[in-house]
């Protein structure tokens, strides 16, 4: 009788370059790792002010690109005003949907979605100069702290210069 090998699983909360690196640890080529990371990173986008035709087009083109889109069916009622559309998909799916939307005459919707993706991407990834290094913020979790253990410290915590007590 052979002994069964232990099988374990864990959830990885990673995205972008961090997920590419994790995938490459499996000896997967970078190109395939990047495609996997893109597929694993989903975005949820909200488009406000869409009319019935725009909402239907967004749903169709996101679906064709591999994503999903939802909106209230009430928008389809005669005389209904604009509504919101929620979309989800990877970055490449969202961009492909935008290309399809623009080609189908829905450039306003495509432009707004692209702008939202660009703004989100820029807000998440920034570089902070740190001496001769650059710290990229938004790519992975970073934690930093400063401990002032000098005798002239004004912290008033009463720990003095005892490293073990301070940490």
Q: Quick one: average pLDDT of 130-157?
A: 69
- Report the chain's mean pLDDT, rounded to a whole number: 81
Token duo for residue 157: 């915590």
* pTM for the full predicted model: 0.60
Residue 162: the pLDDT is: 64
Query: pLDDT category, 158, cuts 50, 70, 90?
Result: low
Measured distance CA(122)–CA(140) in Å, rounded: 14
Instruction: Decide if pLDDT at 136 tops 80.
Output: no
Residues in the chain: 167
Is 145 in contact with 19 (CB distance < 8 Å)? Answer: no
Taking each helix axis from N to C terminus, what angle separates 91-103 and 107-124, rounded to the nearest 10 degrees? 160
Instruction: Decide if pLDDT at 54 tops 70.
Output: yes
Q: What percent of the chain has pLDDT over 90?
A: 29
Is 64 in contact with 97 (CB distance < 8 Å)? Answer: yes
Q: Where are the domains of the chain?
A: 16-129+133-137
């Amino acid at each position: 009788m052979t002994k069964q090998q232990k099988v374990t699983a864990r959830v990885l909360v990673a995205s972008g370059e961090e997920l590419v690196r994790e995938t490459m640890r499996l000896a997967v080529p970078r190109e395939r790792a990047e495609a996997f990371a893109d597929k694993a990173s989903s975005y949820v986008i909200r488009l406000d002010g869409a009319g019935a035709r725009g909402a239907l087009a967004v749903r169709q083109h996101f679906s064709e690109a591999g994503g999903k889109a939802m909106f209230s069916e009430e928008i389809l009622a005669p005389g209904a005003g604009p509504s919101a559309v929620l979309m989800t998909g990877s970055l490449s799916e969202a961009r492909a949907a935008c290309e399809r939307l623009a080609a189908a005459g829905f450039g306003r919707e495509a432009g707004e979605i692209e702008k939202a993706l660009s703004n989100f991407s820029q807000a998440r990834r920034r570089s902070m100069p740190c001496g001769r290094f650059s710290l990229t913020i938004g790519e992975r979790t970073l934690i930093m702290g400063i401990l002032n253990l000098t005798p002239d410290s004004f912290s008033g915590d009463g720990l003095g210069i005892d490293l073990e007590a301070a940490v």
